[in-house]
Amino acid sequence: MTKHSLRDIKREATANALAEAAFELARERGLDGFVVEDVVQRAGYSRRTFANHFSCKEEAVAAAAVTFKAIDEAEELIANLPESASPLDILHQLMKMQLTAELLRRMRELVAFSKRHPTLEPYVLSLFRGLQSDAQEIMRELSRGRYPEEYIHLLVGALYGAVLPLLDGSLNVILPGQPSAEHPGATTFEHYLDTIFGYLRNGF
């Protein structure tokens, strides 16, 4: 895993600030209730800076789901995995790292936004594909060529496919931080994730 330079950190901080401003405006006004100029004014940057990071307000809104990153913590978690860790062990830790309560909540909000505003949907799908690609790249690096590329794609694809129904509400699963009393009969996210990995470990 490569360390970020100071320039990378500043660039990411700028993108995060713009994305956060866009997301909050979407919450407050709806996607049709603001323009890029509102985003840059709230974030304190210029339109040119916005254009250096995002092509449109929809892309910025979608990017807000992954602005909460703990890079050092993530790298430390992965670095502490034993070399003998199986792809499923790696993937299980990675999913716990990636799918934080905040990311899941925001992703669910984005999916709800995209149902009302179809112009947002391609950016939400791109965001999800990016998370999946990150997982594949990390697993590829940590497995050190011990497993075929097709196997890694199969595992990651199966798991991320199982996450999608949580975001659109197809399955009755309580996300971390949600009160269980408001979701009678629902399973917890932790139990759902453990169940999915049980299926994977047992070969379905």
State the average pLDDT for the chain: 84
Q: Which of 98, 82, 78, 92 is nearest to 201 (CA)?
A: 92
CATH (domain of 141)? 1.10.357
Residues 56 and 86 in one domain: no
Contact 38, 60 (CB under 8 A): no
DSSP for 153-165, written as a single string: HHHHHHHHHHHHH
Residues 167 and 85 in one domain: yes
Residue 93 has pLDDT above 90, yes or no: no
pLDDT recorded at residue 169: 82
Q: Which of 41, 27, 34 is nearest to 57 (CA)?
A: 34
Q: For 162-175, b where at least 16 C-beta lie within 10 A, e where not — what string?
A: bbeebbeeeeebbb
Residues 58 and 130 in one domain: no
Q: What is the pLDDT of residues 62-79, one digit of tens each?
A: 999 875 444 555 566 667
| Enclosing domain of residue 19 | 1-67
pLDDT recorded at residue 75: 62
Contact 143, 152 (CB under 8 A): yes
Residues 195 and 103 in one domain: yes
Of residues 71 and 171, more confidently modeled: 171
Q: What are phi and psi of 78, to 5 degrees?
A: -70, -40
Q: Which of 63, 61, 64 is nearest to 31 (CA)?
A: 61
**Cα 29 from Cα 49, distance rounded (Å):** 23
Of residues 38 and 168, more confidently modeled: 38
Q: Which helix (H) or strand (E) holds 38?
A: helix 36-43
Q: Which of 34-43, 54-63, 157-166 has the lowest mean pLDDT?
A: 157-166
pLDDT recorded at residue 117: 92
CATH (domain of 48)? 1.10.10.60
Total structural domains in the chain?
Answer: 2
Q: What is the pLDDT of residues 192-203, one digit of tens each?
A: 888 888 888 887
Q: Based on DSSP, count helices (H) and strands (E) in the chain, helices before strands.
A: 10, 2
Percent of the chain with pLDDT over 90: 30
Residues 187 and 162 in one domain: yes
Residues 162 and 175 in one domain: yes
pTM for this predicted structure: 0.78
pLDDT recorded at residue 1: 44
> Which of 52, 67, 82 lies at the terminal end of a domain, its last residue?
67
Residue 59 has pLDDT above 90, yes or no: yes
DSSP 17: H
Residue 182 has pLDDT above 90, yes or no: no
Mean pLDDT value across residues 140-160: 83
pLDDT recorded at residue 104: 86
